[in-house]
A and B are shown apart, each in its own frame.
Chain A
């Protein structure tokens, strides 16, 4: 009886292992097919002009100059808005806030916010920033909307990083007569910096890929110029790609593929940096 159970257990083990492997390979195969498709279509299109050209009616003269410029300025303003608020909120909640029911209520809500579909943020941005605050479909309205979107991610990452700082370091600092502020600013935050940075970069790479909220607040416009200030209209790379894929001409589809390659590389690079920092930091902080 026992041996039968045992060999059945071994069989289940094998079946599970190979089923899991099949599904993993399946997911990988789809990714490879997508990548091969995109690269075979778009790679040849990428050249210096593709980065330098403004959008145009002619597919072969179109470029991603405005989209890249729009995206970078959008990120710049988004970071300026989201970073201080997100980090300070995270530090407050973890290091200063009392651990009571209200705190756990806030905690749950922030975690929920991180999971809200991004298009909802778009609708909020449209109502609040574009209409009520009369920002119009400008760069700054987009930046505020994206800032709202990535703020929960930054807050959660900051809290986790601070939570990982061993309490013995705080005790060492207090034990030498340091105040709470000195302990937080000179010991806790520097020790948590790697984790905070990782969170920030992941948040940025999320913001780069976002299309839906920006479509809602009206960024899908033909923008033949580079934004010069926060009140200018703008477009971004994912929107430019979206725009091109909706065109009937095959040449624009190729442009879209080339744009996707650029976007993929940027996200890949950012995530790579994030992983690098995280690994380095974990080695440093290990006790």
Chain B
């Protein structure tokens, strides 16, 4: 049974078709990587799963998107959905608030008032995202005073604080230096024990290192989807072969 699934997904931005009849299933407690050249539709598909594309005007979506067999677009409330499927963005985007308030944001919007509950959850989430040791003494400082890599881990902590089951990551390390990037990768490896992770990445090595399964997209189509090992050593499709070996893209 798939945790997350798309069936015959099509999407248009205005007249331009960005996704062409994509069907894909993501297993629970695994890391699935979406790779492909820019404009291939990997981020667009990712954003369908928590309905972030709804924010873009003139978008038309067809097909089925399922979370635990429930239809994302018809069977559940959009706000409920986004609490179950969290998202981490390309550029770290902490709120201009304190570190504590950033992580507590999600709890506060669902109406959590109990200070002890909030404090415990903030600590747990920061430990989860391997940031606690660095920030435990400066929780009241502005999140913007952190480094880029720390900010991104803070954004992950913020997402984890509302107990999602799926975490979508849209090139989470592409704006970071190699060391911060490696920390994020270690973190992803840890997180898959508890969460289902889908990650979009431009970095082949990263996909090969962190993911269990890899999907290769090209011009809005899903070209190949298989175990990561197989995708990188023995891809069935010539275009996949060319892309993963760096011959184009």
Contacts and interface: CB of A to CB of B under 8 A. Distances in A.
Contact of A176 (B86, B94, B96, B142): B86
A169 B93 contact: yes
B225 to A, nearest CB: 25
Given A171-B55, A187-B95, A178 B89 contact: no
A253 to B, nearest CB: 51
B82 A177 contact: yes
Interface in B103-151: 105-106, 108-110, 142, 144
A171 B109 contact: no
A187 B50 CA distance: 20
B183 interface: no
Interface in A173-209: 173-179, 182, 186-187, 190-191
A190 B93 contact: no
B144 A177 contact: no
A181 to B, nearest CB: 10
B2 interface: no
Interface string B69-87: 0000000000111110011
Given A176-B83, A177-B83, A191-B96, A168 B109 contact: no
B106 to A, nearest CB: 5
A284 interface: yes
Contacts of B67: none
Contacts of B95: 169, 172-173, 187, 191
Contacts of B155: 172
B91 interface: yes
Given A168-B89, A186-B105, A284-B142, A175 B82 contact: yes
A285 B108 CA distance: 22
Interface residues of B, number: 28
B153 interface: no
Contact of B91 (A168, A176, A177): A168
A115 interface: no
B52 interface: yes
B207 to A, nearest CB: 22
A175 B87 contact: yes
A177 B55 contact: no
A84 interface: no
Nearest to A98: B57
A172 B109 contact: no
Contact of B158 (A170, A176, A186, A287): A176
A163 B80 CA distance: 28
B162 interface: yes
A166 interface: yes
B159 interface: yes
Contacts of A172: 89, 93-95, 155, 158
Interface string B216-238: 00000000000000000000000
A187 B106 CA distance: 12
A172 B92 CA distance: 10
Contact of B110 (A173, A174, A177, A190): A177
B79 A175 contact: no
Nearest to A179: B79
Interface in B143-182: 144, 155, 158-159, 162
A177 B79 contact: yes
Nearest to B105: A176
Contacts of A169: 93, 95-96
A7 to B, nearest CB: 47
A175 B50 contact: yes
B105 A177 contact: no
- Most chain A CB within 10 A, of B106, B108, B109, B155, is at B109
B50 to A, nearest CB: 6
Contact of A171 (B81, B93, B97): B93
Interface string A205-222: 000000000000000000
Nearest to A175: B87
A182 B109 contact: yes
Interface of A: 166, 168-179, 182, 186-187, 190-191, 284-285, 287
6 contacts: A166-B93, A169-B93, A175-B52, A176-B86, A177-B81, A191-B95
Interface of B: 50, 52, 55, 79-83, 86-87, 89, 91, 93-97, 105-106, 108-110, 142, 144, 155, 158-159, 162
7 interchain residue pairs of minimum CB distance: A168-B93, A177-B82, A177-B83, A175-B87, A177-B79, A176-B106, A172-B93
